[in-house]
C-alpha cells in the first residue's frame, strides 16, 4: 500500500480546488461529474484533477516536509464527489499540526491521522469513473476584463473556489477570459491550482 503524508489544510484545499470541475459538471445522471483523479508525483506531492472535454480543474498538494519521496507511487486512483466531500469534512476537523497519511491501493484510499487514527476511507473507483485527462496547451492571450455574458459564471466560479483555506497568502483567485475561448473562464489560485470552466 502506498502512503504519502500531508498537512490537513494543504490536502483540504487541493481536494476542493481539484474537484471544482467535477462539482460544476455533476448532474442527476452523473452525480460524480466523472470523478476526481488523484496521482502521486516523484517528489511525494499529489495532483488532483477533474473535468470534462470543455472544463477542467487541477490542484497540487505539497507533501509534509519529511515525506519520503521514494515511497511507492499511488496506483491509479479516482474518487467520487461524495467521498471527496467526506474527506474534506474530516480534514477540516484536524489540527493544523496534525500529519495526515493518504494510504491507497487498487481497492481503496484512507486518511490516517498522526500515524494511527483512521479518519475515513473510500472506494477506489478507477474502474468505474473516468475524469477527462487535461493536456497542457500553449500559453493563450488572457483578458482580465470579464464580459457581461460571463458575469454569472464568474460569480459562481468565485463562490465555488473562495474559502478554500490554503495557508499560502498569495493564493487569491484570479480569473481571465481566453481570447481563443471566449465562452469560458480560466482561473488560478497562486501557483498550486488552475482550471478552465466552460458552461457549454
CB burial of residue 176 (10 Å; 0-12, 13-18, 19+): middle
CB burial of residue 86 (10 Å; 0-12, 13-18, 19+): middle
| Best CA proximity match to 144, nearest among 174, 172, 170, 171 | 174
Confidence at residue 138, expressed as pLDDT on a 0 to 100 scale: 47
Looking at every residue in the chain, the average pLDDT score rounds to 85
For residue 126, how many other CB atoms are within 10 A of its CB?
Answer: 18
Question: Would you say 116 and 101 are in contact if contact means Cβ atoms under 8 Å apart?
Answer: no
What is the grid cell recorded at 45? 506531492
Per-residue pLDDT of the chain in tens (200 residues, 90 and over written 9): 678 899 999 999 999 999 999 998 898 998 999 999 999 988 889 999 999 888 899 999 999 887 766 666 889 899 999 999 999 999 999 998 999 999 999 999 999 999 899 999 999 999 899 887 765 554 555 666 788 888 888 888 888 887 666 656 667 888 888 766 667 888 888 888 999 888 76
Confidence at residue 111, expressed as pLDDT on a 0 to 100 scale: 96
Adjacency order of strands within the sheet including 108-113: 2-6, 100-104, 108-113, 117-123
| Best CA proximity match to 37, nearest among 56, 53, 55, 24 | 56
**Maximum Cα–Cα distance across the chain:** 52
Between CA 100 and CA 113 the distance in angstroms is 5
Q: Are strands 181-189 and 173-178 parallel, antiparallel or unpaired?
A: antiparallel
Classify residue 30 by its DSSP letter.
Answer: -
What residue spans define the domains of the chain?
3-53+77-122+147-189
Amino acid at each position: 500500500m502506498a502512503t504519502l503524508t500531508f498537512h490537513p489544510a494543504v490536502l483540504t484545499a487541493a481536494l476542493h480546488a481539484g474537484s471544482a470541475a467535477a462539482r460544476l459538471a455533476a448532474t442527476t445522471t452523473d452525480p460524480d461529474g466523472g470523478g476526481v483523479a488523484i496521482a502521486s508525483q516523484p517528489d511525494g506531492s499529489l495532483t488532483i484533477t477533474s473535468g470534462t472535454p470543455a472544463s477542467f480543474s487541477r490542484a497540487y498538494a505539497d507533501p509534509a516536509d519529511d515525506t519520503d519521496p521514494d515511497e511507492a507511487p499511488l496506483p491509479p486512483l479516482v474518487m467520487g464527489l461524495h467521498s471527496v466531500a467526506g474527506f474534506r469534512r474530516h480534514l477540516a476537523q484536524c489540527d493544523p499540526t496534525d500529519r495526515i497519511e493518504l494510504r491507497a491501493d487498487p481497492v481503496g484510499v484512507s486518511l490516517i491521522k498522526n500515524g494511527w487514527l483512521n479518519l475515513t476511507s473510500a472506494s477506489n473507483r478507477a474502474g468505474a469513473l473516468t475524469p477527462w485527462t487535461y493536456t497542457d496547451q500553449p500559453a493563450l492571450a488572457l483578458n482580465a476584463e470579464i464580459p457581461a455574458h460571463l458575469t454569472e459564471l464568474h460569480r459562481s466560479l468565485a463562490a465555488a473556489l473562495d474559502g478554500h483555506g490554503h495557508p499560502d497568502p498569495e493564493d487569491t483567485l484570479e480569473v481571465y477570459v481566453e481570447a481563443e475561448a471566449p465562452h469560458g473562464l480560466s482561473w488560478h489560485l497562486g501557483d498550486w491550482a488552475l482550471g478552465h470552466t466552460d458552461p457549454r
